[in-house]
Structure 1
């Protein structure tokens, strides 16, 4: 993001005015479009609001922008003899369309992290650089010559990668499949997008866990689906709730994240798994099983996926490299009946003609290499270490103010605040103190829950981050009194 240069003689307000004039001339802000507010622009640029006021005054004097009380500041429609009828109403386009924007809290978190790199990030659900297999992948890329063909690949995915996944899924997850039943995607969200767009229709009823990360994904609402809640207890969703929703609403699909569920960290018992599968087969109801975290199990063997116990083919199984290796590879997969794989591969080909073959080759080499298992072992130990640091800090800084269950895998800690606190105010105050987290309401929860992710922050940031959160919480509680 551009920032004014404080080392040059040119006044900062003039630098800002020149920068905005350039963005306007490039069409980034067309005639009639709304500019950021003075306060927001000042925060973005790290200057006083009075400096932005001077910059706006400079642009107004040149006739480039116009300000109206209560309507904000807009780019002039007459500076270059442009008239409104010849200028597309880009604001209307941006607000239209059927695909909804991210939730306001998620946009605020993303914008805050972009504007304030010093924020301690306990919100982003991805691995930090020190947890990713960077050295291993660098070594593999030096050892192997990658494809000389850089055209479009098989829309179902790079065949050697699908073959490597057949072996990986049987060895690590107890899932027996074939390469023809695997679709390579750019990650779990693309898998979910393809399912909601191609296998369901607007108005269809589906069941998702409560709380669930699915509530943070507007793609379900964008597809016009009706969402019904499956309460999650310490062992996940219950089969009787699935039967009840099917009876009342004729749900057509169930979306589950059973193992180290996001955000609660719950894991179903063997009995609970059998009950879920029995309900699916009894009702002829497909279950979409998203399984990004199982291989992060800290001490015991990874819990088995529902798919490994699924002789009838009721489960669409989704996996990803994002939580166990590197989100930047953009590699995910889906195991499904061949007819479904062909349908979704056809749709994905219409979107992007298939994924880049190079990261698929890297992923295939990594899965087949001697590096993979040692990386998983190191990842588990480091995640457990960070989890313990987070728990220790919470117990020290917030005794009596927070409760949680200790997860045995995954990247997240789901916490209940004992006092009543407004989600938005707590997030704003925490950002001011220097830490960002995800409010529980993002996942469909009632106000008063928070999700801390301990995989993104550096180990030495975790205790200071919790101290900043505790300071923000106590500040709000003192204000309320």
Structure 2
């Protein structure tokens, strides 16, 4: 761990500072851990002791370490937020989408999207296209009526909580107590607040591999250690999960059991029951992400939410953004009252206010008499687009797909193995935007496609682009075989 990667133009003390911070964020150094003595650390790094002292002073000023005369230097044990650097990282993620700015491939795709060319096919963006989002009539509302709305407390707009509770009961037979239901500004805010309130820097969390959680910077910013657990056809492998729990002292399990992002896999009822039993035996809570629940193509009784199987141990996250558009920013968290009270209080302290406007609009949509009819029409069209895209991929012969039973993602795996770094650029050059598997895992052999964004008119062009890219990939492998 104590080895510098000398970079031209970077002061040595700054490299030492970055080395310590990196070890903290990776979990190699935990709160309360003691750093080597200044002289010993200087010898290990091959630098002057004064350089080490300079670096430790910088870390102390930032709040990352505590220096005790006669005892040494220790990783700070203070609450999250004490360090201004950590707080800045969180804010940057919430307000500026820091992840997209650090991944060159995503930057390249954004540049293609800005061209506004009809030849561009956007299978990357994680939301419905505008033409598929259901439209609802809004009754005349004055500005004063919004301002006078008094039915919102720290948990959110009460009529919306009633409507969501009614919806989940009708769809799943799952009663979410409206008195304890917490409305959030989307599913990601619910996840963020869970990390903030229930976990500490250095804690371990088990997630599916691959998983969209792998791409979120909130975990690294909070110092949370993520451990990916392999999946089979029904989702997370329980034997591997149990081994991970024992080996890394996992504090929480986060899963997306219905139409998993990015693979689209569905966890069967038996696996769900076994997962709940496993978490109960280790007294570890489960975070259930069910944001695609309304876009299912299979009967709800076949995929009961984990929350229904274990109301007390499962924290349930839902969202309307996948059917009403991401700008709606309406999510919810069903958790024990004591948990949601603390989360609501933390949100107030952090001044993450909850706007009444989207809550009222979402309530109007959920109570519209045509809501379920329009939802059914939406699912029918999304399913048709999914069938068409999967058929095209299967025709090519080199891409393995499992036809999704809900949601709007398909996961396609290239049969000839991992793609090289330069080969991912084929998709950019063809203006076919997809989410590469390296965003969700260490794997580099698959792509995630939002098929809802590929209209019937675009499907022939999608076939043409995929065929050209596949031929280029195969040609490369033939060339590699010849040159061996």
Q: Same fold (TM over 0.5)?
A: yes
CA 96–204 in structure 1, closer or farther in 2 if over 3 Å, else same: closer
CA 259–353 in structure 1, closer or farther in 2 if over 3 Å, else same: closer
Kindly report which structure 2 residues correspond to 1:61-460, keeping only aligned pairs within 5 A, or say none.
Answer: 97-99=88-90, 101-102=98-99, 104=103, 105-118=105-118, 119-134=120-135, 136=136, 139=137, 141-142=138-139, 148-150=145-147, 153-301=152-300, 303-311=303-311, 313-396=312-395, 398-399=396-397, 401-422=398-419, 424-460=421-457
Q: Conserved in 2, the CA contact under 8 Å of 1:261 and 1:267? A: yes
CA 421–473 in structure 1, closer or farther in 2 if over 3 Å, else same: farther
Superposed CA deviations along residues 232-257 of structure 1, whole A, max 9, x for unmatched, are: 11101133333212211110001000
TM-score under structure 1 length normalisation: 0.74
Q: Conserved in 2, the CA contact under 8 Å of 1:291 and 1:317? A: yes
- Which stretch has the larger CA shift, 98-107 or 245-254? 98-107
* Equivalent-residue separation in structure 1 for 2:298 and 2:456 (angstroms): 20
Task: Please state whether the residue corresponding to 2:271 is helix, strand or coil.
Answer: helix
CA 235–437 in structure 1, closer or farther in 2 if over 3 Å, else same: same
Shift of residue 411 of structure 1? 0.6
**What is aligned with 1:470?**
467
CA 467–277 in structure 1, closer or farther in 2 if over 3 Å, else same: same
Q: Conserved in 1, the CA contact under 8 Å of 2:86 and 2:221? A: no
Shift of residue 115 of structure 1? 4.1
* Equivalent-residue separation in structure 1 for 2:249 and 2:132 (angstroms): 43
- Which stretch has the larger CA shift, 111-120 or 222-231? 111-120
Task: Please state whether the residue corresponding to 1:323 is helix, strand or coil.
Answer: helix
Shift of residue 459 of structure 1? 2.6
Superposed CA deviations along residues 255-284 of structure 1, whole A, max 9, x for unmatched, are: 000011111111122211111110111111
**What is aligned with 2:26?**
none
Shift of residue 388 of structure 1? 1.2
* Equivalent-residue separation in structure 2 for 1:389 and 1:148 (angstroms): 46
Shift of residue 167 of structure 1? 1.2
CA 299–112 in structure 1, closer or farther in 2 if over 3 Å, else same: same
* Equivalent-residue separation in structure 2 for 1:344 and 1:459 (angstroms): 44
- Which stretch has the larger CA shift, 419-428 or 218-227? 419-428
Task: Please state whether the residue corresponding to 1:298 is helix, strand or coil.
Answer: coil
Q: Conserved in 1, the CA contact under 8 Å of 2:171 and 2:300? A: no
Task: Please state whether the residue corresponding to 2:457 is helix, strand or coil.
Answer: helix
* Equivalent-residue separation in structure 2 for 1:386 and 1:252 (angstroms): 39
Task: Please state whether the residue corresponding to 2:226 is helix, strand or coil.
Answer: strand
Shift of residue 440 of structure 1? 0.8
**What is aligned with 1:49?**
none
* Equivalent-residue separation in structure 2 for 1:232 and 1:479 (angstroms): 30
Superposed CA deviations along residues 60-115 of structure 1, whole A, max 9, x for unmatched, are: xxxxxxxxxxxxxxxxxxxxxxxxxxxxxxxxx99994346315133433343234
Q: Conserved in 2, the CA contact under 8 Å of 1:216 and 1:443? A: yes
* Equivalent-residue separation in structure 2 for 1:470 and 1:319 (angstroms): 37
**What is aligned with 1:71?**
none
Q: Conserved in 1, the CA contact under 8 Å of 2:128 and 2:452? A: yes
CA 391–198 in structure 1, closer or farther in 2 if over 3 Å, else same: same
- Which stretch has the larger CA shift, 187-196 or 302-311? 302-311
CA 359–146 in structure 1, closer or farther in 2 if over 3 Å, else same: farther
- Which stretch has the larger CA shift, 283-292 or 169-178? 169-178
Shift of residue 417 of structure 1? 0.3
Task: Please state whether the residue corresponding to 2:189 is helix, strand or coil.
Answer: helix
- Which stretch has the larger CA shift, 338-347 or 204-213? 338-347
CA 191–108 in structure 1, closer or farther in 2 if over 3 Å, else same: farther
TM-score under structure 2 length normalisation: 0.74
* Equivalent-residue separation in structure 2 for 1:425 and 1:345 (angstroms): 46
Structure 1, unpaired ranges of 5+: 1-92
* Equivalent-residue separation in structure 2 for 1:132 and 1:188 (angstroms): 18
**What is aligned with 1:19?**
none
Task: Please state whether the residue corresponding to 1:347 is helix, strand or coil.
Answer: helix
Superposed CA deviations along residues 143-196 of structure 1, whole A, max 9, x for unmatched, are: 666762438953321111111112112111222222232111111111111111
| Alignment RMSD | 2.4
Q: Conserved in 2, the CA contact under 8 Å of 1:228 and 1:245? A: yes
Q: Conserved in 2, the CA contact under 8 Å of 1:434 and 1:465? A: no
